[in-house]
Amino acid sequence: MINIIGLGYIGLPTALMFAKSGIKVVGTDYDANLVNSLQDGKLTFEEEGLEELFKESLSNGVEFSTEYQKTHTYILAVPTPFIKESKKLDPKYVISAVNSVLDVCEKGAVMIIESTISPGTTDKYIRPEIEKRGYVIGEDVHVMHAPERIIPGNMIYELENNARTIGTDDPEVGNKIKGLYSNFCKAEIIVTDIRSAEMSKVVENTYRDINIAFANELAKISRTDNMDVYEIIRTANMHPRVNIMQPGPGVGGHCISVDPWFLVGDYPDLTNLILTARKINDSMPRHVLGRIRDIMRKHDIKDISKVGLYGLAYKENVDDTRESPTLQLLERMDDHLAFGVKVFDPFVKERIVDHQFMNFEDFMNEIEIVVVMVGHDHIKNNMDFIKDKHVLDTKNICTFDSVYKL
Ligand code: SAJ
């Protein structure tokens, strides 16, 4: 039996995939409401294909509990929050989960940490925690790091088809765990050391952050001389060894905008490129504000409440708003005492900011400038509705001509 700890965005789909492949799984979370809801057959977040997967896993006997189970294999997918001020990772939930596992586990149990951890976390926090309790790592208990790589919006497909990494001190035990994951993962699974696993995860997200920063810098250069950045990137990407990503209103989410800071925090003298990329991406909401100001001036619109931000999520077709560019932009406006801009997102069903509309038509009726912040399908299907307004399209999704770009 596998006990999966933490039933959030990563833990739950992973638990369901194992259960679907016929393995006995118990999912544990300390949030009793969440566990009750899952026991009642109700999902706690939306994700493509999750509903069917949930049904299949239920019929395969997946169970949910607030209790840690006595068993041999644990997967830890608890949050690893990022401390905004210090730019460091807070390992408190991982440490507490490791301790709770130690309280109940069988001798020789394997603890696989899937949560993103900054490079060195296993050596710095997790090993000492285990040793302090008198356990010998490698005998009483094994520790592994198998970072997740799935992308919200395409999680189920990616769980099955993305290559995985397993970082371990002991390749023999690592290979057994590789066998376990291959029950649902059809792609290659690499067994490596823990430090490389920790580092490669953060490096993957940093690579993407730098690539997006490059695209964003190109957008700014293109703006000053009226060039079409999308056409330039599209053309450059025809080269077989060039693959530039897309500019946008900023980088959000809990991963790409966060992980590079771990490297900057630990190697401040060696991370010029990484830090610069972070700064460029963080500067994009300000760039969008400058574009809004340009459009307001051009059309002699003086009232900020005539501006509507479409999209609060950090990217298309998800309801996740963590570190979203729209929230970053609103924060910046707040700093400048500029209040009253209107906001709408069809995926965000709770009111989380001021002047947030729950109805698209009401939102549209109140504004003269629409700022497309996220490329939800909803807006792609509503082009007719928006095209009579002044539109600032930061995601390059609008299909009509008279549109302002980044
Ligand atoms: N973005 C751009 N331009 C682009 C692509 C993305 O501005 O060309 C923006 C998005 O709008 C969004 C942000 O970047 O605000 C991040 O979105 P994303 O879709 O690129 O990535 P995440 O944060 O949802 O997921 C990433 C993925 N990592 C990589 O692709 C290397 C995912 O595989 C990881 O599992 C996840 O981080 C994680 O948990 O670390």
Query: Is there a single domain that holds both residue 188 and residue 207?
Result: no
Q: What is the pLDDT of residue 82?
A: 85
- What local confidence, expressed as pLDDT, does residue 86 receive? 84
pLDDT-derived band at 8 (thresholds 50, 70, 90) equals very high
* Residue 265 included in any domain: yes
**pLDDT single digits (tens) 155-209:** 999 999 999 999 999 999 999 999 999 999 999 999 999 999 999 999 999 999 9
Residue 158 falls within a domain, yes or no? yes
Find the CATH number of the domain harbouring 90: 3.40.50.720
d(CA 14, CA 17): 5
* Ligand 1 centroid to residue 170 C-alpha, Å: 32
Question: Does any ligand 1 atom lie closer than 6 A to the CB of residue 321?
Answer: no
If you take atom 9 of ligand 1, which residue's CA is the nearest one?
Answer: 251
Asked whether residue 150 falls in the same domain as residue 273, the answer is: no
Q: From the CA of 208, give the closest atom in ligand 1.
A: 31
Q: Which residues pair with 5 in a beta bridge?
A: 28, 76
Q: For a pLDDT cut of 90, what percent of the chain falls above it?
A: 92
In a domain, 301, yes or no: yes
pLDDT band at 83 (very low <50, low <70, confident <90, very high): confident
Longest dimension (CA), the chain: 72
For 122, counting Cβ atoms within 10 Å of its Cβ (0-12 exposed, 13-18 middle, 19+ buried), the class is buried
Query: From ligand 1's centre to the CA of 256, what distance in Å?
Result: 6
Percent of the chain with pLDDT over 70: 100
Among candidate residues 20, 255, 395, 405, the one labeled active-site is: 255
Q: Is the per-residue pLDDT at 95 higher than 90? A: yes
Please compute the mean of the pLDDT values over residues 6-12 and round it to a whole number. Answer: 95
pLDDT in tens, 215-228: 999 999 999 999 99
Looking at the structure, tell me whether residues 358 and 219 fall in a common domain: yes
Inside any domain, residue 197: no
- pLDDT band for 337, please (50, 70, 90 cuts): confident
Does the annotation count 87 as an active-site position?
no
Per residue in 233-283, pLDDT (tens digit) is: 999 999 999 999 999 999 999 899 999 999 998 899 999 999 999 999 999
Cβ 275 vs Cβ 264: under 8 Å: yes
pLDDT at 88: 87
Does residue 116 have its Cβ closer than 6 Å to ligand 1?
yes
Range of the domain at 283: 203-405
Q: Ligand 1 test: best mutation among 10, 256, 263, most atoms within 8 Å of CB?
A: 256
Give the number of the atom of ligand 1 that is nearest the alpha carbon of residue 281. 7
Judgement on whether residues 223 and 308 belong to the same structural domain of the protein: yes
For 1, 141, 164, 341, the CA distances from 186, given in Å and listed in that order, are 21, 28, 10, 47
Closest Cα to atom 37 of ligand 1:
255
Mutate to test the pocket of ligand 1, among 47, 164, 205 (most ligand atoms within 8 A of CB): 205
251 Cβ below 6 A of ligand 1: yes
pLDDT at 336 over 90: no
Domain boundary among the residues 192, 213, 236 is at 192
164 and 218, same structural domain? Answer: no
325 CA closest ligand 1 atom index: 15
Residues 130 and 9 occupy one common structural domain: yes
115 with 249, same domain: the answer is no
Q: Is the C-beta atom of 375 inside 6 A of ligand 1?
A: no
Number of domains in the chain: 2
Please give the angle made by the CA atoms of 96, 101 and 104, to the nearest 5 degrees: 130
Give a yes or no: residue 105 inside a domain.
yes
Mean pLDDT of all residues in 68-84: 94
Q: What's the confidence (pLDDT) of residue 153? A: 87
Ligand 1 atom nearest residue 207's Cα: 31
Give the Å distances, CA to CA, from 256 to 116, 135, 252. 11, 35, 7
Does a structural domain hold residue 221? yes
Do 223 and 153 share a domain, yes or no? Answer: no
With the most atoms of ligand 1 within 8 angstroms of its CB, the residue from 10, 151, 393 to mutate is: 151
Among 192, 222, 246, give the residue marking a domain's end: 192
Distances (CA, A) of 361 to 344, 346, 358, 364: 10, 11, 9, 5
The response to whether residue 150 sits with its C-beta less than 6 Å from ligand 1 reads yes
List the structure tokens of 100.
């709770």
Nearest atom, ligand 1, residue 375 CA:
11
124 within domain boundaries: yes
Ligand 1 atom 35: residue of nearest CA: 149
Q: What is this structure's pTM? A: 0.93
pLDDT of residue 46: 84
DSSP 137: B
Same domain, 35 and 145: yes
**Is 374 within the bounds of a domain?**
yes
Q: Are residues 133 and 269 in the same domain?
A: no
What's the pLDDT score for residue 191? 98
Same domain, 324 and 182: no
Q: Is 212 in the pocket of ligand 1 (CB under 6 A)?
A: yes
Residues 238 and 298 in one domain: yes
pLDDT in tens, 54-70: 999 999 999 999 999 99
- 55 in catalytic set: no
Is 314's C-beta closer than 6 angstroms to any atom of ligand 1?
A: yes
Confidence class for position 25, pLDDT limits 50, 70, 90:
very high
Answer with the one of 143, 162, 192 that is the final residue of a domain: 192
Question: Looking at the chain, how many residues does it have?
Answer: 406
Q: What is the mean pLDDT of the chain?
A: 96
Catalytic residue of the set 201, 315, 395, 405:
201
In this prediction, residue 212 carries a pLDDT of: 98
b or e along 274-300 (b: 16 or more beta carbons within 10 Å of the residue's beta carbon)?
beebbebbbebbebbbebbeebbeeee
What is the distance between the alpha carbons of residues 377 and 394, in angstroms, rounded to a whole number? 15
Dist. CA 188–CA 143, nearest whole Å: 21
